Amino acid sequence: MTRDEDIRAYGFTALPRPMATLLAARKDPQPLTSLTISDVPLPSSPLVTAVLAYAKHELPIETFNHSMRVFYYGLAIARFGFPDLLSESWTTTYLLTSLLHDIGTTDTNISATLLSFEFYSGLLVLDVLKKEGAPKAMAESVAEAVIRHQDLGETGTITSIGAVVQLATIFGEARTNSVYLVRGEWGRQKCGVGASGDDCECHQCISADEVVKVLCAYDPEGA
C-alpha cells in the first residue's frame, strides 16, 4: 500500500488531542442504540489469534479483562461517534492496541527496564507484532498508540487509534466521566468486596463478557 493508504488503514489519521475538541469535532455521529458484545465480534485472523493468546498468557486476568473492556468500549465509541474510522484493518489495529497497551505493567516487564511502562510496552509491541507477521505500518500504529495512551493534553493532535484508546481507557477506569463527556452502562456482578456484598464496579469483578451496553454521547451542557 502507499503511505497515504497505510495512514488511513492503520489509524494514523490525526485527530485533536484535547478530548472536548475531539468529541465536538465528530463527523456524522450515529444515533445511540443498545449494544452488546455479540454486536461487536472480534476480528478474525492468525495474527489476532496469536496476539490474543499472548495477551492471555502474559497479563494478569484483571489486566486482560480491562484490555478487553477497552476494546469493546472503544468500538462502541467509534461506531457511534467516529463511524468513518471503521474498517477491518482499523478495527484489527485497535484490537491489538487494546490487548497490548498495558503489557509493560506485568511484574516481569516492569522489573526488566528503567523505562516508563508505556515506552517499554511500545518496544515490546513492535517486537511481538514483527514476530507474528503484522504489517510494519500496523505494528508502528499500535506501538505509537500504546506509548501515548496516557498522553492526555490540551494541545496538538494524536492518531485516531490513540484518540479512541484514550477515550476507552478513561471510560474503562472511571466508568462515568462528565469531564470528557463519555457515558455508558456496564455489566455488574456481586464480588463480596463490600461488607454487604453489594454490587461493585471494580476491575477485578467485571469481566469483558459482562458488558451489557455501551453508549457514548457528546453533551455540550455537560449535564
Cβ neighbours of residue 109 closer than 8 Å, sequence gap 6 or more? 103, 117, 120, 121, 124
Cβ neighbours of residue 163 closer than 8 Å, sequence gap 6 or more? 15, 16, 17, 22
Q: Is the pLDDT of residue 6 over 90?
A: yes
Please report whether residue 148 resides in a domain. yes
CA distances from 91 to 24, 101, 105, 205, 210 (A): 23, 15, 24, 26, 21
pLDDT value for 159: 97
d(CA 160, CA 158): 7
The mean-pLDDT minimum among 40-44, 82-86, 183-187 falls in 183-187
How does strand 199-200 pair with strand 157-159? unpaired
For 188-219, b/e burial (b = at least 16 CB within 10 A) is eeeeeeeeeeeeeeeeebbbbeebeebebebe
* pLDDT: which is higher, 74 or 32: 74
Please report whether residue 180 resides in a domain. no
Please report whether residue 48 resides in a domain. yes
Please report whether residue 185 resides in a domain. no
Q: Is the pLDDT of residue 27 over 50?
A: yes
Cross-strand partners of 189: 200
pLDDT value for 210: 34
pLDDT value for 196: 31
Cβ neighbours of residue 57 closer than 8 Å, sequence gap 6 or more? none
Please report whether residue 195 resides in a domain. no
The mean-pLDDT minimum among 121-125, 165-169, 184-188, 200-204 falls in 184-188
117 is in which domain, residue-wise? 3-23+39-175+205-217
pTM of the complete model:
0.78
pLDDT tens column, 150-194: 888 899 999 999 999 998 887 765 543 322 223 333 333 333 333
Burial of 77 (C-beta count, 10 Å sphere; 0-12/13-18/19+): buried
Please report whether residue 16 resides in a domain. yes
CATH of the domain at 57: 1.10.3210
State the residue for C-alpha cell 492518531. Answer: 159
Span 94-98, average pLDDT: 97
Residue 134 · residue 53 · CB < 8 Å: no
* pLDDT: which is higher, 201 or 147: 147
Q: Which of 144, 191, 150 lies closest to 172 in space, CA to CA? A: 150
In this prediction, what percent of the chain has a pLDDT beyond 90?
46
Please report whether residue 197 resides in a domain. no
Please report whether residue 199 resides in a domain. no
pLDDT value for 173: 59
Number of domains in the chain: 1
pLDDT value for 117: 87
